[in-house]
């Protein structure tokens, strides 16, 4: 069974940093664009950032521009989301997902999803 596994979530104070990882097993990420999405309590899941198959194109939600950085290491079959200057409103479950349809925000295009990792920003 193809899997994506997120890690790196946790509790952090406002202004702090976390780096999320998304590792694929039983398939290679090289052919897939990767998206990071998040869902806060009582809210719909929203796109945070996306990266193309080769890592040469990225997208960011306005709310995270300048604070979050998406990257990938295809040799390690892993994608990352570096989150700096975290705010309480960044609190959510963060999911990574993979799509063969190229870099885009449409969640219906994403074929594989991880189980999510909790990020809590609180003092």
Select from 103, 112, 115 the least CA-distant residue to 27: 112
Collapse the DSSP code of 109 into the 3-class scheme (helix H, G, I; strand E, B; otherwise coil) and give the result: helix
Task: Report phi then psi at 20, rounded to 5.
Answer: -90, 145
pLDDT for 26: 86
Q: How confident is the model at residue 75 (pLDDT cuts 50, 70, 90)?
A: very high
The per-residue pLDDT for 104 is 95
- 13-70: pLDDT as tens digits: 999 999 999 999 888 899 999 999 999 999 999 999 999 999 999 999 999 999 999 9
Mean pLDDT of 69-94: 97
């Amino acid at each position: 069974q193809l899997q994506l596994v997120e890690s790196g979530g946790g509790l952090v104070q406002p202004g702090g940093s976390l780096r999320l990882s998304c590792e694929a097993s039983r398939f290679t990420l090289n052919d897939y664009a990767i998206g990071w999405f998040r869902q806060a309590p009582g809210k719909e899941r929203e796109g945070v950032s996306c990266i193309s198959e080769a890592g040469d194109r990225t997208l960011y939600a306005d709310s995270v521009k300048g604070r979050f950085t998406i990257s990938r290491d295809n040799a390690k079959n892993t994608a990352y989301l570096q989150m700096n200057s975290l705010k309480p409103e960044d609190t959510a479950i963060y999911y990574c997902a993979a799509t063969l349809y190229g870099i885009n925000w449409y969640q219906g295009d994403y074929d594989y999803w991880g189980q999510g990792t909790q990020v809590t920003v609180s003092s």
